[in-house]
Amino acid sequence: MRPSVLAAPLATERAPEPHREAWARQRPWIVDAVTGGAWCGATSAEPGTSGDLSRAHSAPGRTRPIAWPPRRVLPYAVLSKAQGRARRLVLSAAAKVNLALEVLGKRADGYHEVATVMQAVDLSDRLVLEEADGLELRVTAPGIPTDGTNLALRAARALAEASGVSRGVRITLDKRIPAAAGLGGGSSDAAAVLLGLDRLWGLRWAQPKLAEVAVTLGMDVPFFLHGGAALGRGRGEQLERLAAGTTALVLVNPRFGSSTAEVYGRVTPAMYSDGARARAVAAALRGRSAGRLAATLYNGLEPAVAPVAPEIAQMKAALVAAGALGALMSGSGPTVLGICRSFEQARQIRGRLTRASWECWAVRTLVGPAIRFPRPAARAT
């Protein structure tokens, strides 16, 4: 039995309710076990053929069958609406590391001008968005706020205000990225909410329009709308996407947080630099050499953190002693990353460094999006 669905972004045609089942039989459906809905396979073909959706669905009241099996499948999510159940989306929100971070100076608006290379990694939070009467947030991890200070909830409110939408959402956040760790977990959650609600609320905004909302939430948030690797300038929001391969890393966290505002408050003009180190890291990423990348790592905030967090130097030394090619504090800390030759080596180093006072992960960098809508294998029929 085929699931009932709401219209997908590209399939604007709707059949009368009594004829929904007959209408659905003319469409190829693949059940999505995550959303409880379906994925519609739309064929890519020459204009005028059955794979041309702009023509196949252009005439009101008419239905043209889509060719099956397709030559190339372009999937797009379709939200389910089973009886008595609200629409629901599941998202994965990746962390990031800063492979370079330079403070270039202080701006007239009080912020610091930076040059930074950000890279998404496959340590991720999981979010579930469900239709609700108001804006709600539930968090599975202890110590994470669920009020207006949480970026995920702030993102929902900001998008509702910017779009004029009066609908609600219940956000369930399964927090796996440590908070206040220099890994951008809160910013990634905010970006996931923006992208998820854009789909759940049917806004269909282009990414530049979503980025205008994202930048009001934090300078890292626009990066997570894309993911991969990027060179950030200005306050970090002016992004240049970078070509990069997959690199294995070990992340080590001392199980305490770091305040970004306090760290920047300790920056002095002696810590300023000219952006050359960030450009060198960007070039190393393009060269796809782990050794070269390790040799160019740089974080100008480390001198502002090291005096109050000696664990930073200890974790870096432990990573290098265990075999990492190079080590660096990520962002405003306190998480430290180590560059590895392979993922197997990263797993071995993680095993050597895991201890009661430190939390460790072996991760890979992400080439694609930081925010993903997971699609497991279709259920057998």
- Output the average pLDDT for the chain: 81
Spell out the domain ranges in the chain.
Answer: 17-78, 88-242, 248-364
3-state secondary structure at position 319: helix
The span from the CA of 336 to the CA of 301, in Å, is 12
Report the percentage of the chain scoring pLDDT > 90.
72
| Length of the chain as a residue count | 381
**Rounded to two decimals, what is the model's pTM?**
0.77
Q: pLDDT for 269-285, tens place per residue?
A: 999 999 999 999 999 99
Per annotation, catalytic residue among 96, 175, 189, 316:
96
- In the CATH hierarchy, which top-level class contains the domain 248-364? alpha beta
357 falls in which pLDDT band (50, 70, 90)? confident
Among 42-51, 167-176, 303-312, 340-349, the minimum mean pLDDT is found in 42-51
Rounded Cα–Cα distance for residues 194 and 370 (Å) = 13
How does pLDDT run across 195-253, given as a tens digit for each residue? 999 999 999 999 999 999 999 999 999 999 999 999 999 999 999 999 999 999 999 99
Please report, for residues 311, 312, 321, 323, 328, the alpha-carbon distance to residue 318 in angstroms, rounded to integers and kept in the order given: 10, 10, 5, 9, 12
| Lowest mean pLDDT segment, chosen from 322-331, 350-359, 372-381 | 372-381
Catalytic site residue 175? Answer: no
Q: Read off the pLDDT of residues 126-162 as tens digits, 9 standing for 90 and up.
A: 999 999 999 999 999 998 999 999 999 999 999 999 9
Catalytic residue among 32, 125, 198, 220: 220
Fold topology of 88-242? Ribosomal Protein S5; domain 2 (3.30.230)
106 catalytic, yes or no? no
